[in-house]
């Protein structure tokens, strides 16, 4: 379907007559990772205007959260950025702990850091390998997905689930991790650098990849800030904003790591920032294991401490206690709190208003994808369709986080 | 009841149907041969919307490898696909798109509903989520789980393969099938 | 505490009568502003050199507990100095109109559309105020307390089994 558009000068003379065609990059498309629609007005192969439509997977998380007690909201947070669910879970726990004013033992915080960095690696594996697939490099995807399986094995040892983990508790962890978990983590730390280096050798200095991705969908730092970019996308544009450094949570101030920053904000910079962040995450996990302090694994929160499973299955009081906590019959203070963590895509914020009841009065998720995807029409103006696809996949737009 | 573990020394490529064999000829039922061909070459259309889509990516990757069952070529065009794998939550906004994709597929087509959300709405009993895709399209196999493990998705695909193998030629033109499609409003 | 004092003093210089409250909630200075002046307050906070709240972290809506008022909450951030504040503004549910913030921050565009979609808050001057997450034909504002979570038109749920 094409439309003629004529540009007139002041004197009503025709300067330019262009025929635009409309292309529907529909909700189901192999290259859009997740379901969102873009209606593109194109002049041949060059995009003149893009109109995104989202909401195809709107699951009403915020309304659902008003119905569920605090301990039952974690599975919902899992499904926000489902490529790195443990980070969402930990963010939610920290929000509730801030509301309660609880102090978490250092040992539990270091364990949380290990889990969050592992899931950050998992998230960046998906994003970077899929950028490779979109440029045609299937091999990188197949090689590096094997390492995601190893991370899944670690999560499975700790909490039983691979993807939507619901890991940990409000207040820490339920029990010490098994020896097998630590062996798996040690093996991962020894072997993953080789796998990551292999993937890096395939793509990082590959001329074809660089020709495709350098100068593809750039964004300047001023525009990125005005569109409230966060995370790797903002760091690729040159601003070193990382919530772990600026507002440290969960003992991140005890670790030394660098925050990689790009220059142009194009696809190649976004790819490289994520690559370097994976190396930094490995270093953080090693530091956490080396400096691990002794202590309890759960904070002293009698109202939120779920009894150990052996007692729950054998002892009546423990069963009743477990039931009461999970069903929300515990006292929550009134108040409102905003807490943010550095998710795979940037600042993931939880704005919680509690009125003292069993369920939150209002819970709002500050979802980074939703906010920075607005800049997409600006970023693709005047570039070709295949570059626009790459720009979208390098921004790591996860549909679950976009729509909530 | 545990299945008997058959130890194999040579990999079996595809099980031959029963038939009468002789020098230079092999006589069997046409339905068996076509069933064998259909079963081992189901081209899926991955309709991945959310978290189950990531488990599908893991199924497709080298560890669990969907390709060894014949589904090597993923077709994103419905006109070229045999099997529609709906993975993830379908919201009411997405319903018409799913319906359009299903209608574009040519017979014989099978539908695999992966995950709790696609089968019944999952944990999202809300105003915006379609409570199961079988409200708008007919489904052959449901794979429950949130998300289901890759082994479960593979078992779902194997069940579809069983259905593809044993299906009679007349099924898609029979009155019962047409009545079922009409109940969904599909001609 | 100091940030609360600094911002409060600066705001009082220009908007003395419009600040309904200024308090510290957990670790955030929170200001409640009159609905008609919220745009000017935001502009001042963004453009003042010492305050410099150049980054809009979040914009969301809420309904008060008595269900008679709607509110819009802004979270602002000053990255170089690492200052964060929260602004709130409330208005009657029967006349939910506020000035838009899209001229100050383009990022507010979709956030305001989401607030409109969920609560029905109309932002004056918004370039494209229509629904973003729900279907376009929906005529209710689902996040308001009066509307239920579940789809009421379902006929396949057996309530006797679920003890509703």
pLDDT in tens, A174-185: 889 999 999 999
Complex ipTM: 0.92
Report the C-alpha gap between A151 and B19 in whole angstroms.
48
CA angle, A398 as apex, C76 and A280 as ends, to 5°?
Answer: 75
Q: What is the pLDDT of residue A155?
A: 94
CB A6 within 8 A of CB A16: yes
Contact C151 B126 (CB under 8 A): yes
| Separation in Å, CA of C159 to nearest CA in chain B | 14
CA pseudo-torsion sign A111, A117, A121, A123: positive
Contact C58 A375 (CB under 8 A): no
Give the containing element (helix H, strand E) for A245.
helix A243-246
Query: Is C60's Cβ below 8 Å from some Cβ in A?
Result: yes
Query: Looking at chain B from residue 44 to 63, which residues have their Cβ under 8 Å from any Cβ of chain C?
Result: none
CA angle, A215 as apex, A211 and A221 as ends, to 5°?
Answer: 150
CB A312 within 8 A of CB A318: yes
Report the C-alpha gap between C43 and C9 in whole angstroms.
16
Contact C105 A60 (CB under 8 A): no
Report the C-alpha gap between C119 and A164 in whole angstroms.
30
Average pLDDT over residues A131-157: 91
CB within 8 Å of A90: residues ≥ 6 apart: A112, A115, A116, A167, A168, A250, A341
DSSP state of A174: S
Give the containing element (helix H, strand E) for B162.
helix B150-165
Q: What is the pLDDT of residues A271-299, one digit of tens each?
A: 999 999 999 999 999 999 999 999 999 99
Q: What is the pLDDT of residue C164?
A: 52
Q: What is the pLDDT of residues B119-165, one digit of tens each?
A: 988 888 888 898 989 899 999 999 999 899 999 999 999 999 999 99
Average pLDDT over residues A298-306: 88
Contact B97 A63 (CB under 8 A): no
Q: In percent, how much of chain A has pLDDT > 70?
A: 99
Report the C-alpha gap between C134 and A152 in whole angstroms.
34
Contact C135 A55 (CB under 8 A): yes
Q: What is the pLDDT of residues A226-248, one digit of tens each?
A: 999 999 999 999 999 999 999 99
Report the C-alpha gap between A231 and C117 in whole angstroms.
27
Please determine, for residue C9, whether its predicted confidence score (pLDDT) is greater than 90: no
CB C73 within 8 A of CB C58: yes
Contact B93 C135 (CB under 8 A): yes
Question: At C157, is the pLDDT very low, low, confident or very high (cuts 50, 70, 90)?
Answer: confident
| Separation in Å, CA of C141 to nearest CA in chain B | 11
Q: What is the pLDDT of residues B73-112, one digit of tens each?
A: 888 889 999 999 999 999 999 999 999 999 999 989 999 9
Q: Which of C135, C150, C156 sits opposite B126 (nearest CB)?
A: C150
Please determine, for residue C162, whether its predicted confidence score (pLDDT) is greater than 70: no
Report the C-alpha gap between B187 and B181 in whole angstroms.
7
Q: What is the pLDDT of residue B5?
A: 73
Report the C-alpha gap between A134 and A131 in whole angstroms.
5
Q: What is the pLDDT of residues C80-93, one digit of tens each?
A: 999 999 999 999 98
CB C38 within 8 A of CB C46: no
CB B54 within 8 A of CB B17: no
Report the C-alpha gap between A4 and A21 in whole angstroms.
9
CB within 8 Å of A170: residues ≥ 6 apart: A70, A71, A93, A96, A97, A301, A304
Chain C residues bordering chain B (beta-carbon distance below 8 Å): 133-135, 142, 147-151, 154, 156
Query: Is B128's Cβ below 8 Å from some Cβ in C?
Result: yes
Contact A54 C54 (CB under 8 A): no
Query: Is C73's Cβ below 8 Å from some Cβ in A?
Result: yes
Q: What is the pLDDT of residue A253?
A: 92
Which residues does chain C have within 8 Å of residue A361's beta carbon, measured at their own beta carbons? 65
Q: Is 0.80 surpassed by the pTM of this model?
A: yes
Question: At A31, is the pLDDT very low, low, confident or very high (cuts 50, 70, 90)?
Answer: low
Q: Which of B91, B106, B96, B124 is nearest to B45 (CA)?
A: B106
Report the C-alpha gap between B157 and B150 in whole angstroms.
11
């Amino acid at each position: 379907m094409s439309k003629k558009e004529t540009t007139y000068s002041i004197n009503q003379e025709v300067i330019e007559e262009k025929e635009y065609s409309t292309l529907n990059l529909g909700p189901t498309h192999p290259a859009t990772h997740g379901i969102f629609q873009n209606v593109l007005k194109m002049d041949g192969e060059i995009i003149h205007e893009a109109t995104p439509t989202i909401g195809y997977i709107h699951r009403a998380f915020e309304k659902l959260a008003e119905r569920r007690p605090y301990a039952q909201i974690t599975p919902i947070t899992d499904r926000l950025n489902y490529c790195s669910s443990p980070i969402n879970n930990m963010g939610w726990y920290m929000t509730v702990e801030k509301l309660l004013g609880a102090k978490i033992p250092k040992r539990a915080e270091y364990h949380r850091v290990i889990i969050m960095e592992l899931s950050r690696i998992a998230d960046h594996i998906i994003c970077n390998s899929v950028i490779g697939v979109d440029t045609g490099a299937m091999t990188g995807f197949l090689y590096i997905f094997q390492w995601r399986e190893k991370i899944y094995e670690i999560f499975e040892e700790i909490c039983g689930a691979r993807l939507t983990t619901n890991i940990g508790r409000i207040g820490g962890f339920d029990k010490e991790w098994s020896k097998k978990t630590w062996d798996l983590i040690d093996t991962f730390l020894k072997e993953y650098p080789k796998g990551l280096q292999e993937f890096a050798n395939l793509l990082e200095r590959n001329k074809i990849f660089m020709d495709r991705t350098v100068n593809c969908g750039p964004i300047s730092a001023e525009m990125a800030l005005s569109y409230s970019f966060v995370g790797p996308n903002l760091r690729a544009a040159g601003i070193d904003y990382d919530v772990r450094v600026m507002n440290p949570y969960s003992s991140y101030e005890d670790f030394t790591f660098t925050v990689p920053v790009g220059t142009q904000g194009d696809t190649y910079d976004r790819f490289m920032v994520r690559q370097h962040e994976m190396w930094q995450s490995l270093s953080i996990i090693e530091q956490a294991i080396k400096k691990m302090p002794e202590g309890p694994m759960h904070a002293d929160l009698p109202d939120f401490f779920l009894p150990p499973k052996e007692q729950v299955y054998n002892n009546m009081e423990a069963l009743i206690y477990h039931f009461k906590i999970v069903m929300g019959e515990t006292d929550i203070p009134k108040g409102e709190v905003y807490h943010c963590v550095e998710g795979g895509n940037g600042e993931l914020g939880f704005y919680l208003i509690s009125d003292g009841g069993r369920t939150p009065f209002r819970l709002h998720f500050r979802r980074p994808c939703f906010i920075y995807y607005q800049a997409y029409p600006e970023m693709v103006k005047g570039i070709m369709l295949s570059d626009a696809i790459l720009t979208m996949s390098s921004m790591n737009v996860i549909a679950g986080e976009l729509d909530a | 009841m545990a299945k008997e573990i058959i130890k194999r020394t040579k990999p079996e490529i595809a099980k031959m149907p029963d038939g009468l064999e002789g020098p230079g000829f092999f006589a069997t039922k046409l339905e068996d041969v076509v069933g064998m061909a259909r079963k081992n070459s189901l081209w899926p259309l991955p309709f991945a919307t959310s978290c189950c889509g990531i488990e599908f990516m893991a199924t497709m990757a080298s560890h669990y490898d969907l390709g060894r069952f014949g589904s090597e070529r993923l077709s994103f065009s419905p006109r070229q696909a045999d099997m529609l794998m709906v993975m993830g939550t379908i919201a009411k906004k997405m319903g018409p798109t799913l319906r359009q994709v299903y209608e574009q597929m040519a017979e014989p087509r099978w539908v695999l509903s992966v995950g709790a959300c696609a089968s019944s709405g999952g944990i999202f009993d809300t105003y915006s989520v379609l409570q199961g895709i079988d409200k708008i399209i007919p489904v052959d196999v449901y794979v429950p789980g949130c998300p289901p493990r890759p082994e479960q998705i593979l078992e779902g695909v194997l069940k579809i393969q069983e259905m593809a193998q044993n299906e009679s030629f007349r099924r898609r033109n029979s009155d019962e099938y047409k009545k079922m499609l009409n109940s969904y409003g599909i001609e | 505490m100091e940030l609360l004092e600094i911002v409060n003093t600066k705001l009082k210089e220009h908007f003395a009568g419009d600040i309904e409250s200024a308090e510290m909630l957990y670790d955030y200075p929170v200001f409640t502003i009159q609905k008609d002046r919220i745009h000017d307050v935001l502009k001042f906070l963004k453009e003042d050199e010492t305050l410099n709240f150049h980054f809009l972290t979040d914009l969301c809506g809420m309904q008060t507990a008595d269900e008679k008022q709607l509110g819009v909450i802004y979270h602002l951030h000053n990255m170089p100095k690492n200052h964060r504040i929260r602004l709130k503004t409330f208005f009657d549910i029967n006349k939910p109109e506020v000035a838009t913030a899209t001229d100050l921050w383009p990022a507010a565009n979709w956030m305001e559309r989401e607030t409109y979609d969920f609560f029905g808050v109309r932002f004056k001057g918004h370039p494209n105020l229509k629904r973003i997450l729900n279907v376009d034909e929906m005529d209710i504002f689902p996040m308001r307390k009066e509307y239920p979570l579940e789809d009421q038109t379902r006929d396949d749920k057996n309530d006797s089994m679920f003890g509703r």
